[in-house]
Structure 1
Amino acid sequence: MKKQSLIKGTLILGIASIFTRFLGIFFRIPLQNLIGDEGMGYYQMSYPLYAVFIAVSSGIPVAVSKMISEKNAINDKEGIIQVLRKSVLLMIILSIGFSGILLSFSKKIVTILKWDPKAYYALIAISIAPIFISIMSCLRGFFQGLQNMTPTAISQFLEQIGRVIFGVGLAYMLLPKGIEYSAAGAALGASAGGILSDIYLIIKYMGVRVNFYRKKIKNNNKVMGELLNIAIPISLGAAVGGIMGLIDSILVPQKLLQAGYNYQEATVLYSQLTGKASVLINVPLGLSMALSCSLVPIISEAHILNRKKEVKNKVEAALKIAFIIAIPSCLGLSFMALPILNLVFKGQIGGYTILKYLSISVPFIIIAQTTTAILQGVGKCKAPVINLFIGCIIKTLITFVLVPIPMINVYGAAIGTIVGYFISALLNMKLLRKHLNISINYYNIAIKPGWASAIMIFGVVFLYNYVYNNTMNINISCIISILVGIVIYAFLIFIFGIFEYGYVKDKFIKK
């Protein structure tokens, strides 16, 4: 199987991620119209627990990707199959256990967390999804380890298609029974998407496994130990990130009640934070995750083959891409928060100020994700977990203190996210310089993209106002200004020499 370069792999996953994120957003448009902020609140309350499973188990596909990349580098085909088998076994055990717990204790969970009782149905509906997600995760890790990102990209697309079609369809069918049942139907879309993705990945795997089965594969228990040794720290780190979302689902509604809001008002504000602002924030984060997925196997291969110069080149390139994504995303979502929210959610602009402030967290989240992937690739899996845990504690404290203050309310959660990820990103950068002995040129990596982004957003805002004054149509003005902004930014990247052809060829295409 032909390997893909860092830039090609990132591009493939990036395009797929953006496309699927937009599909996810458009999934929410009819859903928002069907069940409103209240129903979205029920859906969003159930989702963080599902996200915790995704986070807890996410270390396994990353570990699979890393181990398979290393074994493929030394042509250990039997080892590749052993890693895949052990990972599937481990994920199935985890998923069945997690789903069983959620199904058995859903009512108690809703009571303990002081959620609206109507959120129970969505929690039950989403509880079965982990079983289907587990197989999908392992097979994605398998193909990523072989440095082929195309199957992952296609499976992401199919997963989101299944989620949209079945989720919206079930929500519509169940709406006459009540908003809470409609929200549960939407939650079932996660399982449908997982099934569709699984079917494709299994078919794809059946087509390539002949390249690895040359003789009977012997059982090797050491593989499970190695898998767990890599996966546990990564899972803990991802779990901390998932716990940040869970903390919001627990603390924010409760603390909003303390701030003087009633249950319905608290649910609506929470929905605006997680169902609108966070959803739009996740679009640029999809590009960052694509970069991270491509980074781990490529850096792992260079590291195990002791290609120190190549490792440094990939790190420099990855950080540059991270800043190129992060800075314009932050400025765009902040300055264009209202028209973007109006465009996506068809006039439902409630929460646009939350998006304006939460967008500040984007650069810090992206840098934290990218540096974590780099450190994982060179075998430093535990330290970024500790750094993220420190950020999580800080976020929790800030959320706990600020949200009950009536003048701050839900914005306290946004402030907590910004500060928490800033601390994590800063600690990771220090760790990177220390362990890899890398001298980072911040002018080329961050300042140049910053200037390009500032000029771009000035042009976007000016053009938006000009078009709006002539058309009086907020959506047309938003679309035109964003498209022109993308062209301006791409032109400025070239003019400022942020990426040159020779640079791209040397750092990305050559192996």
Structure 2
Amino acid sequence: MHQLRIESGRIWRGAFILTVAALFVKILSAVYRMPYQNFAGDVGFYVYQQVYPFYALAVALGGTGFPIVISKYIAESGRNKGIGEEATVRRHARIALFFLCGLIFVVLVLGAEPLTEVMGDQHLAPLLRTAAWVYLFVPFSAVLRGGFQGKDENMVPTAVSQIGEQVVRVSLIIGSSWFLFLHHGGAYQFGEAAITGSAIAPAASLLILILFIRKGTNRDVQEVPVNRSINWRLIGSLLLGGSVFSILALPLVLFQLVDSLSVIRLLHHAQIAEPRQAKGIYDRAYLLTQFGMIAAASLTASIVPGLAKLAARRKVQEIRRQATLALKISLAFGLAAACGLAAISGPVNIMLFRNDRGAVTFAIIAFTLLTLSVILTTSGMFEAAGHPVLPFLFLCLGAAVKLILNICLIPHFSIAGAALATCLATLLTAGLNSFALLRMRLINRIPTAALLKLAAASGVMLTAVYLFGRSHLPFGGSSRLAETATALVGAAGGAVLFIALLILLRYFTPNDIARLPLTGKLGMRRPSDL
């Protein structure tokens, strides 16, 4: 029992460290885009966002997906087969990653022209080649992170290296953008500078990880395995598991990749006057989506260790209750963020980007805050239950539907059609995840009365915030400062009103409240594990 408590403490401590690091990285990732767009303009923002999904995939492979899978195999080999097997896992992980990342590198370098022809803008070819270099760092950083996490359950090197990489990256992007702004740089120069900064930053991450090795934090990381034969089944498992967890960690990237490959060509076919500028305006909306996903990612990171622990102890009823509560929280705050952002999309657009172009698109895509929150939370539940492939397949299906809807909607509705396609495709994925969890009896059905209470609270909050935003009171005028005040006060007031309505309508039951992590610290009685 004492050993179980120690292991549980390590799990929660590790989850907390990685969650804090992920929060910091995500906040930086969202914040730097505002000055970058202000410096580069909508076309410069479009250039960067077209190539960004290819960079983000490398980050997911090296920072989240493969380290998780490698650490799992190392932890199992350390407990069951001895230290020699740990080095074998690392060697096979390097082989798997060299194969995967080398393949992507070759495709991006040699296939840049055909790929950018599909994307509808061959000026992006040099940027794709620059982004390809990020993949050469992935095998080294992923194996080192996985070794630290699996050998001693040490999350500090991963967290510090991720933060260091992001700080270097953001500093390079903002610094180079400021220089180009002062010297009247072109849109593609801004994009090239941003991608170059992103390609250099992983070197800082790798250096930090090497410094942890030199300090002796993970002395066994360089051990050479005795058995030099290749286990192809292990390589296949590492490739599958790492790829699945990488995509699940950043579900939005898959939909952004579909947009990068299809939107410009479809806007050309729709005879839009300035397709690149229109795509840049459309990409603005994803900035706020990233902010909204921070809360959902934090919730997912916090529930997965707890659910995994309950699953190991076979506490089936408590698993369902905890998972259902997590889904209720995700629905509530995802819907609140979506409605609030949609209601003040105009002022928020002006606050961040100086004008309200694409406000309708902004309002539509705001509702992905709800769908993506549900996708992240439900995917975490599948992972905790040991079924990560199912949400991965649903996500791929959603991406395919997104492409079909882009083809159908963009010619008629321009970028608003692209936003609607994202909403509907992510809604399908979230619905399939939730339905599968119900069928597998991993969650309980949320009562209709609770959903009606949530809809009522969201409706009242949306109406109040929208009327406040339209009134321009008490700030008056339509300056950027006035719109900023309107947006901030509207968001804060809407949040307070929504929480008050949830409490008044009793959306969360007494049992729900007793299960919230904070209640234990407040001295409230928790229900016992059943």
- Give the TM-score of the pair, scaled to structure 1: 0.82
The answer for the alignment partner of 1:429 in structure 2 is 434
The answer for the alignment partner of 1:164 in structure 2 is 170
Moved more, 320-329 or 36-45: 320-329
The answer for the alignment partner of 1:101 in structure 2 is 107
Residue 424 of structure 2 aligns with an amino acid whose one-letter code is V
Map 1:441-456 onto structure 2 (within 5 A).
441-442=446-447, 449-456=454-461
Task: Please say if residues 244 and 392 of structure 1, whose CA atoms lie closer than 8 Å, have aligned partners that are also in contact.
Answer: yes
1:110 to 104, 116, 130: 116
Q: Return the alpha-carbon distance in structure 2 between the equivalents of residues 203 and 436 of structure 1.
A: 46
Task: Please say if residues 125 and 188 of structure 1, whose CA atoms lie closer than 8 Å, have aligned partners that are also in contact.
Answer: yes
Which runs of no fewer than 5 residues in structure 1 stay unpaired? none
Instruction: Indicate how the Cα distance of structure 1 residues 179 and 427 shifts in structure 2: closer, same or farther if over 3 A, else same.
Output: closer
Q: Return the alpha-carbon distance in structure 1 between the equivalents of residues 381 and 237 of structure 2.
A: 19
Q: Tell me how far 1:357 sits from its aligned partner.
A: 0.4
1:396 to 390, 400, 403: 403
Matched, 1:194 2:202: yes
Q: Return the alpha-carbon distance in structure 1 between the equivalents of residues 460 and 149 of structure 2.
A: 37
Map 1:3-402 onto structure 2 (within 5 A).
16-54=21-59, 59-64=65-70, 67=73, 83=89, 86-115=92-121, 117-138=122-143, 153-173=159-179, 176=183, 178-204=186-212, 209-210=217-218, 221=231, 223-234=234-245, 242-262=253-273, 265-274=274-283, 276-345=284-353, 347-402=354-409
Q: Tell me how far 1:463 sits from its aligned partner.
A: 5.4
> Percent identity, aligned pairs only?
23
Residue 129 of structure 1 aligns with an amino acid whose one-letter code is V
Instruction: Indicate how the Cα distance of structure 1 residues 209 and 20 shifts in structure 2: closer, same or farther if over 3 A, else same.
Output: closer
Q: Return the alpha-carbon distance in structure 1 between the equivalents of residues 80 and 330 of structure 2.
A: 30
Q: Tell me how far 1:257 sits from its aligned partner.
A: 0.9
Moved more, 471-480 or 66-75: 66-75
Residue 487 of structure 2 aligns with an amino acid whose one-letter code is C
Q: Tell me how far 1:204 sits from its aligned partner.
A: 4.8
Q: Return the alpha-carbon distance in structure 2 between the equivalents of residues 280 and 182 of structure 1.
A: 22
Q: Tell me how far 1:409 sits from its aligned partner.
A: 1.2
Q: Return the alpha-carbon distance in structure 1 between the equivalents of residues 78 and 490 of structure 2.
A: 46
Q: Tell me how far 1:356 sits from its aligned partner.
A: 0.3
Which runs of no fewer than 5 residues in structure 2 stay unpaired? 1-5
Instruction: Indicate how the Cα distance of structure 1 residues 401 and 344 shifts in structure 2: closer, same or farther if over 3 A, else same.
Output: same
**For residues 311-370 of structure 1, what are the alpha-carbon distances to aligned partners after superposition, in whole Å with 9 as ceiling and x for unaligned?**
33442243233223311111122112122222222x133222211001122222221222
Q: Tell me how far 1:483 sits from its aligned partner.
A: 3.0
Q: Tell me how far 1:476 sits from its aligned partner.
A: 2.0
Matched, 1:411 2:448: no
The answer for the alignment partner of 2:513 in structure 1 is 500
Task: Please say if residues 314 and 507 of structure 1, whose CA atoms lie closer than 8 Å, have aligned partners that are also in contact.
Answer: no
Q: Tell me how far 1:209 sits from its aligned partner.
A: 4.3
Moved more, 30-39 or 190-199: 190-199
SS of 2:387's partner is coil
SS of 1:380's partner is coil
Q: Tell me how far 1:256 sits from its aligned partner.
A: 0.8
Q: Tell me how far 1:22 sits from its aligned partner.
A: 3.9
Task: Please say if residues 57 and 246 of structure 2, whose CA atoms lie closer than 8 Å, have aligned partners that are also in contact.
Answer: no
Residue 430 of structure 2 aligns with an amino acid whose one-letter code is A
Q: Return the alpha-carbon distance in structure 1 between the equivalents of residues 269 and 140 of structure 2.
A: 42
SS of 1:401's partner is helix
Q: Return the alpha-carbon distance in structure 1 between the equivalents of residues 528 and 226 of structure 2.
A: 36
Task: Please say if residues 452 and 489 of structure 1, whose CA atoms lie closer than 8 Å, have aligned partners that are also in contact.
Answer: yes
The answer for the alignment partner of 2:3 in structure 1 is none
**For residues 211-268 of structure 1, what are the alpha-carbon distances to aligned partners after superposition, in whole Å with 9 as ceiling and x for unaligned?**
978x986659475454345335545767986443222112211111111124xx1111
Instruction: Indicate how the Cα distance of structure 1 residues 3 and 306 shifts in structure 2: closer, same or farther if over 3 A, else same.
Output: closer
Q: Cα RMSD between the aligned structures? A: 4.0
Q: Return the alpha-carbon distance in structure 1 between the equivalents of residues 148 and 301 of structure 2.
A: 11
Task: Please say if residues 23 and 164 of structure 1, whose CA atoms lie closer than 8 Å, have aligned partners that are also in contact.
Answer: yes
SS of 2:486's partner is helix
Moved more, 192-201 or 389-398: 192-201
- Give the TM-score of the pair, scaled to structure 2: 0.79
SS of 1:193's partner is helix
Q: Return the alpha-carbon distance in structure 2 between the equivalents of residues 91 and 184 of structure 1.
A: 26
Question: What is the number of equivalent residue pairs in this alignment?
Answer: 503
Q: Return the alpha-carbon distance in structure 2 between the equivalents of residues 148 and 494 of structure 1.
A: 39
SS of 1:500's partner is helix
Q: Return the alpha-carbon distance in structure 1 between the equivalents of residues 336 and 160 of structure 2.
A: 27
Task: Please say if residues 47 and 123 of structure 1, whose CA atoms lie closer than 8 Å, have aligned partners that are also in contact.
Answer: no
